[in-house]
Homo-oligomer: A and B are copies of this chain.
Amino acid sequence: MALDRELARHIVASVDAGFAEQIEFTKSLIRFPSTRGNEHTIQDFVFGALRDRGYAMDRFAMEPDAIGRHVGGAPFSDQHSTAPIVVGIHRPRRETGRSLILQAHVDVVPTGPSDMWRTPPFDPVIEGDWLFGRGSGDMKAGHAANIFALDALRRAGLQPAATVYVQSVVEEESTGNGALMTHLRGYKADAVLIPEPEDEKLVRANVGVLWFDVEVRGVPAHVREMSDGTNAIDAAYRVVAALRAIEADWNAQKTGRPHFENEPHPINLNLGKIQGGDWASSVPSWCRISCRISIYPGITAAEAAREIAECVADFARSDRFLANNPPRVTFGGFYSEGYVLQPGSEAEAVLDRAHETVIGKPLESFMTAGYLDTRVYALYDQVPALCYGPIARSIHAADESVSLPSVERITKTMALFIAEWCGLESAESR
């Protein structure tokens, strides 16, 4: 049942009233250089921000054993973050509505060469409608929106009439173990909303993602005897070429898959990082490549991993050098399944109404070909997991930025969504 129009206007106006403060909060989040493993201080900042608002606080560490036993757990490498997960909990006086998880991650991907940025990546700068900075779109604007959508209700003298968990996680850009850890700790709600930068659209389906490293070792030699040694860099590159066959095969399998068959290239294999050799005048004896590939919903990470390992092993057997020096394939990051958001849920209907009230047109949905934490809630809690957030540019790239008018719009949508989904009661005085 749609919100009362007057009430909706009141809530929307309250988002506007808090928006300057919301921008400042977002900028504060961007100033933390919270790349993988470096999220301790931002999580402490978020803990303080939620505690100051009166939420009951929970802060906890990853449990590698529990994660390792779960089908959705990703392997731990020595790069895995040890930063805590932070949850602020709103409990209403009377639990009359539907509970909700609002989730966001604080980890950001590396900046790349800082001289490719027009402004320093962790120094938030506003130019026109756009807020620049690493993580501005992915997803510090959404993180702030979670908190400020609830703030807006409070400013309007209201609060959700159901439990709301505000989750601040890590490891979203590398394993998804942060979101999984909230699940393993027992958090569950009737719906989940994660405001990732999705161009004001709802994610209907996504892909699973696997990370893997391929390491080639070769017999090195002085370059004057190049034929004696075999170049490990060249050999690793041949393995990538072999893996392109899997990518092509998997893309061909899009036929008959509803959310994928109209995409020109739904499955991407990315050669993201390479390191090999020590010296220009030595034939390199080692090369390590870090790859990322995606898989369709319904295919498990284990199935895909097996196919990748077999592809590399098959190719190696056919390669004169690699047959004697089999490459080592290791899975040290994402190891996740994709999900489909089943249409027709009440949660989606409520978001659709809120979106249409604010934006003036129906909510569009689409497939996004990247990892999303919503998979944890969709696959393992089997609840509506809504990924919906602002317009952003150059995500994972230099000069990442987020549209501030869009952030304001989606914060309004979120506030209206919370109001209708959870119901409202008068705010407690704090």
- Give A contacts to B, CB under 8 Å: 109-110, 112-113, 116, 138, 173-174, 209, 211, 217, 219-227, 229, 231, 233-234, 237, 265, 268, 270-287, 290-292, 333-334, 368-371, 394-398
In the complex, the chain B residue whose C-beta lies closest to that of A220 is B397
Shortest A82–chain B CB gap in Å is 19
Given contacts A234-B271, A274-B274, A277-B290, contact A282 B224 (CB under 8 A): no
Selected A-B contacts with CB under 8 Å, 5 pairs: A209-B281, A225-B395, A229-B397, A233-B271, A281-B292
Report the separation of the CA atoms of residues A234 and B112 in the bound assembly, to the nearest whole angstrom.
Answer: 17
In the complex, the chain B residue whose C-beta lies closest to that of A116 is B285
Q: How many copies does the complex hold?
A: 2
Shortest A248–chain B CB gap in Å is 14
Contact among B283, B286, B396 for A270, CB-based, below 8 A? B283
Kindly list chain B residues whose C-beta atoms are within 8 Å of the C-beta of A277: 271-274, 290
In the complex, the chain B residue whose C-beta lies closest to that of A219 is B397
Kindly list chain B residues whose C-beta atoms are within 8 Å of the C-beta of A226: 265, 268, 270
Shortest A414–chain B CB gap in Å is 23
Kindly list chain B residues whose C-beta atoms are within 8 Å of the C-beta of A396: 220-223, 279, 281-283
Kindly list chain B residues whose C-beta atoms are within 8 Å of the C-beta of A138: 222
Kindly list chain B residues whose C-beta atoms are within 8 Å of the C-beta of A290: 277, 279-280
Shortest A144–chain B CB gap in Å is 21
Sort A-B residue pairs by CB-CB distance and give the 4 closest, nearest first: A224-B370, A273-B277, A222-B396, A110-B278
Kindly list chain B residues whose C-beta atoms are within 8 Å of the C-beta of A292: 223, 280-281
Shortest A117–chain B CB gap in Å is 11
Kindly list chain B residues whose C-beta atoms are within 8 Å of the C-beta of A223: 268, 270, 272, 292, 370, 396
Contact among B110, B113, B231, B268 for A279, CB-based, below 8 A? B110
In the complex, the chain B residue whose C-beta lies closest to that of A221 is B397
Contact among B227, B234, B370, B398 for A220, CB-based, below 8 A? B398
Report the separation of the CA atoms of residues A224 and B370 in the bound assembly, to the nearest whole angstrom.
Answer: 5
Report the separation of the CA atoms of residues A292 and B236 in the bound assembly, to the nearest whole angstrom.
Answer: 19
Shortest A218–chain B CB gap in Å is 9
Contact among B222, B282, B283, B370 for A222, CB-based, below 8 A? B370
Report the separation of the CA atoms of residues A277 and B333 in the bound assembly, to the nearest whole angstrom.
Answer: 16
Task: Decide if A369 touches B280 in the complex (CB within 8 Å).
Answer: no
Kindly list chain B residues whose C-beta atoms are within 8 Å of the C-beta of A286: 112-113, 116
Task: Decide if B368 touches A285 in the complex (CB within 8 Å).
Answer: no
Contact among B233, B273, B275, B397 for A280, CB-based, below 8 A? B273
Task: Decide if B285 touches A220 in the complex (CB within 8 Å).
Answer: no
Report the separation of the CA atoms of residues A215 and B284 in the bound assembly, to the nearest whole angstrom.
Answer: 18
In the complex, the chain B residue whose C-beta lies closest to that of A277 is B273
Report the separation of the CA atoms of residues A273 and B277 in the bound assembly, to the nearest whole angstrom.
Answer: 4
Kindly list chain B residues whose C-beta atoms are within 8 Å of the C-beta of A220: 112, 116, 396-398
Kindly list chain B residues whose C-beta atoms are within 8 Å of the C-beta of A113: 217, 285-286
Kindly list chain B residues whose C-beta atoms are within 8 Å of the C-beta of A221: 394-397
Report the separation of the CA atoms of residues A109 and B285 in the bound assembly, to the nearest whole angstrom.
Answer: 13
